[in-house]
Amino acid sequence: MYIVTAEEMRRLDNHTIETIGIPQAALMENAGREIARQIATWIAEAGRKSAAERWLVLAGKGNNGGDGFVAARHLSEAGIAVEVALAEPPERMSPEAAQQHDIAVRFGLQLIHCWEQKIAWGRYTGVVDALLGTGTRGAPREPYAALIREANASALPIVAADIPSGLDAATGETHEPCIRAERTVALAFLKRGLVQYPGAETAGHVVVRPIGIPAGLAASLGVRTMILDEAALNGPLGIDVSRERRADTHKGSYGHTLIAAGTKRMSGAGLLCAKAALRAGCGLATWAVPASLATHLLGRVPEAMLAGLADAGHGDWTHVNAEAILALAEDCDALALGPGMGRYEGDSQWLRGLWEGAGCPLVLDADALNMLAEAPDFADWQPRRAATVLTPHPGEMARLAGVSTREVQRDRIGLARRYAEQHGVTLVLKGARTVVATPDGAVYVNVNGNAGMATAGAGDVLAGIIASLLSQGFDAAQAACLGVYMHGAAGDRAALKRTSPASLLAGDLLEEL
Ligand SMILES: NC(=O)C1=CN([C@@H]2O[C@H](COP(=O)(O)OP(=O)(O)OC[C@H]3O[C@@H](n4cnc5c(N)ncnc54)[C@H](O)[C@@H]3O)[C@@H](O)[C@H]2O)[C@H](O)CC1
Ligand SMILES: [K+]
């Protein structure tokens, strides 16, 4: 399922009208009818009687308002009482909205002129927000701001037409004020703002309804952002998710994952990472740690091989010669580096040796990302010889990109795409709605998982899963996407087994993989 910006939506819209020749009024008719249909369905599902309902449609002066007039007509036809509140007089409306206004008048709909009359909110059982759509620029101005505040304060259920008014369709930023919708009927395609927080929260439950724009047009007009679902895994990512293991295979058929992770204080990070790799299906896993630690970890993951690397008795990673890790990596199919590694003097240069030296796919997580972020000479590092996957959380992403965490969260899709393209890496920007960006400009947004996964060690599990998939021969985009999807799905299964997701542990994810 494609996710578009307002600008991409305009291109799709224009192409449909001008090249394919579907009249704009037909698209608007479809849009309004779909909104009304959804409302009628929800009323019925809630066991309420249409005859007992009275809805108020808030109509703005743009085409979003035009959709509102159409929706009102179809609600009325479905036997649901409806009135339309006009934010501005018809002479200020877009031609399409003005046309729908005139039709509404002749149709006999009850209209309220907000510049002359106050809305008696108590009269209604629900509200359609058709004030502002994808044509919005910046924070809602008057009279829209006041209407949005009143609608929110009314505590009536609000159904947003296309997007909640006040939401930035391109980023998910919410302006002050912004409609808090119970549901949103997205027209033709999901807008980015509906899937990124905080926008995703103000949109409530989102459904996407077709309005006559061919679904395939998105790809042909260059849209490269989509929901990470099974259709994406099976389609553009080319993964057969129902594929079974062949019977005549052995552990050597499924790759060998090397995990360089953990220190005395954070040995659990390495443990979770190594276990996750094995649970995600690699045939063999080697867990490398500084030698001083190895004796304490014997038998902790019996299925993994434990490699204690000479550390001159220091128990830290910079005293482990990078060459020793590279020598182990020679026999492995992917290397995960960073969880629980700690930070040391000169560690950025230490990482450089591994970045330039490792000929197998590399997953960098946690401390390895901070080493990378602080490398003053990163621009001079030789390009990697195999795929690289970075798995930062927003704070680590901020350090990598040299911006604030707030900046990262403001436009996760845009930032992840730019970073991945610029640095030739596959980037997994973690957090609610994890974003996977590939070096060729494709972006996948994950929608599974839950807040219980905001727990120590969940990231270490993800790094292990992705490295495991890389060692099984999946390419970087496939491994990152399938890994993120499996990780979220495991989290959802684990959360179902607990009274509250709050008590979920990273170790629980392993059991569900
Ligand atoms: N996607 C489609 O193919 C179709 C979409 N439809 C609907 O049309 C809107 C987009 O319509 P547009 O006229 O471009 O924009 P808006 O309705 O969002 O109008 C905005 C309106 O308000 C003014 N404005 C802009 N920013 C602000 C602000 N911050 N405060 C106040 N006013 C503002 C601006 O000048 C415009 O006049 C889309 O979302 C769908 O709902 C079609 O109906 C069907 C085809
Ligand atoms: K709206």
Is 355 within 8 Å of 384 (Cβ atoms)? yes
Pocket flag, ligand 1, residue 129 (CB < 6 Å)? no
- Best of 136, 168, 176, 189 for a ligand 1 pocket test (most atoms within 8 Å of beta carbon): 136
Pocket flag, ligand 1, residue 140 (CB < 6 Å)? yes
| Distance (Å, whole) CA 402 – CA 238 | 34
Percentage above 70 pLDDT, the chain: 100
Same domain, 155 and 269: no
pLDDT for the residue 264: 87
Same domain, 90 and 24: yes
Q: How many residues does the chain have?
A: 513
* Confidence grade of residue 406 (pLDDT, cut at 50, 70, 90): very high
Interface predicted TM-score of the whole assembly (ipTM), two decimals: 0.98
Pocket flag, ligand 1, residue 491 (CB < 6 Å)? no
* CA of 135 relative to ligand 1 center, distance in Å: 4
Pocket flag, ligand 1, residue 191 (CB < 6 Å)? no
Give pLDDT tens digits for 127-157.
999 999 999 999 999 999 999 999 999 999 9
Q: Report the 10 Å Cβ neighbour count for 119.
A: 18
Is 343 within 8 Å of 367 (Cβ atoms)? yes
343 assigned to a ligand binding site: no
The number of the ligand 1 atom at minimal distance from the alpha carbon of 163 is 39
Give pLDDT tens digits for 349-393.
999 999 999 999 999 999 999 999 999 999 999 999 999 999 999
- Within-domain flag for 224: no
Same domain, 276 and 305: yes
135 assigned to a ligand binding site: yes
| Distance (Å, whole) CA 10 – CA 6 | 6
Pocket flag, ligand 1, residue 138 (CB < 6 Å)? yes
Q: Structure pTM?
A: 0.95
Same domain, 208 and 259: no
Pocket flag, ligand 1, residue 162 (CB < 6 Å)? yes
* CA of 159 relative to ligand 1 center, distance in Å: 16
Peptide bond between residue 290 and the one before it cis (omega within 30 degrees of 0):
no
| For residue 315, pLDDT beyond 80 | yes
Strand arrangement of the beta sheet that strand 443-445 belongs to:
225-227, 443-445, 435-437, 426-429, 388-390, 362-364, 334-337, 256-260, 284-290, 305-309
Pocket flag, ligand 1, residue 141 (CB < 6 Å)? yes
Same domain, 287 and 210: no
* CA of 360 relative to ligand 2 center, distance in Å: 49
| For residue 243, pLDDT beyond 90 | no
Pocket flag, ligand 1, residue 62 (CB < 6 Å)? yes
Mean pLDDT value across residues 394-408: 97
- Best of 24, 187, 194 for a ligand 1 pocket test (most atoms within 8 Å of beta carbon): 187
Q: For residue 418, with 0-12 CB atoms within 10 Å meaning exposed, 13-18 middle and 19 or more buried, which class applies?
A: middle
Same domain, 194 and 239: no
Same domain, 168 and 303: no
| For residue 241, pLDDT beyond 80 | no
| For residue 112, pLDDT beyond 80 | yes
- Within-domain flag for 226: no
Q: What is the CATH number of the domain that holds 162?
A: 3.40.50.10260
| Distance (Å, whole) CA 504 – CA 449 | 12
- Nearest residue (by CA) to ligand 1, atom 40, is 64
Contacts of residue 455, defined as CB under 8 A and 6 or more positions apart, other chains included, come to: 504, 505, 506
- Within-domain flag for 228: no
Q: Whose atoms come closest to the Cα of 188: which ligand?
A: 1
Pocket flag, ligand 1, residue 60 (CB < 6 Å)? yes
Nearest CA among 70, 79, 147, 76 for reference residue 112: 147
Mean pLDDT value across residues 207-221: 96
| Distance (Å, whole) CA 446 – CA 334 | 24
Instruction: Please list the residues that pair with 127 across neighbouring strands.
Output: 56, 158
Pocket flag, ligand 1, residue 252 (CB < 6 Å)? no
* CA of 133 relative to ligand 1 center, distance in Å: 4
Pocket flag, ligand 1, residue 136 (CB < 6 Å)? yes
| Distance (Å, whole) CA 218 – CA 461 | 34
Pocket flag, ligand 1, residue 30 (CB < 6 Å)? no
Mean pLDDT value across residues 250-255: 93
Range of the domain at 32: 3-219
pLDDT for the residue 129: 98
Percentage above 90 pLDDT, the chain: 95
430 assigned to a ligand binding site: yes
| Distance (Å, whole) CA 65 – CA 98 | 9
* CA of 110 relative to ligand 2 center, distance in Å: 20
- Within-domain flag for 66: yes
* Confidence grade of residue 318 (pLDDT, cut at 50, 70, 90): confident
Handedness of CA 311, 317, 319, 321 (dihedral sign): positive
Same domain, 118 and 193: yes
Q: Whose atoms come closest to the Cα of 66: which ligand?
A: 1
- Within-domain flag for 250: no
472: its two tokens: 């099984």
* Confidence grade of residue 240 (pLDDT, cut at 50, 70, 90): confident
Q: What is the CATH number of the domain that holds 370?
A: 3.40.1190.20
Is 191 within 8 Å of 9 (Cβ atoms)? yes
pLDDT for the residue 214: 95
- Best of 131, 134, 175, 179 for a ligand 1 pocket test (most atoms within 8 Å of beta carbon): 134
175 assigned to a ligand binding site: no
127: its two tokens: 């509200």
Same domain, 240 and 206: no
Q: Whose atoms come closest to the Cα of 87: which ligand?
A: 1
Is 391 within 8 Å of 367 (Cβ atoms)? no
- Within-domain flag for 227: no
Same domain, 198 and 336: no
48 assigned to a ligand binding site: no
Which residue shows structure tokens 């996964």? 453
Q: Whose atoms come closest to the Cα of 218: which ligand?
A: 1
209: left (phi over 0), alpha (psi -120 to 50) or beta: beta
- Best of 64, 192, 209, 221 for a ligand 1 pocket test (most atoms within 8 Å of beta carbon): 64
Instruction: Please list the residues that pair with 206 across neighbouring strands.
Output: 184
Give pLDDT tens digits for 45-79.
999 999 999 999 999 999 999 999 999 999 999 99
Rg (CA), the chain: 27
Mean pLDDT value across residues 108-135: 98
Pocket flag, ligand 1, residue 5 (CB < 6 Å)? no
Mean pLDDT value across residues 113-130: 98
pLDDT for the residue 183: 98
| Distance (Å, whole) CA 259 – CA 366 | 13
- Nearest residue (by CA) to ligand 1, atom 15, is 135
- Within-domain flag for 229: no
Same domain, 414 and 269: yes
Same domain, 201 and 281: no
- Within-domain flag for 383: yes
Handedness of CA 408, 410, 412, 416 (dihedral sign): negative
Q: Whose atoms come closest to the Cα of 140: which ligand?
A: 1
- State the total domains in the chain: 2
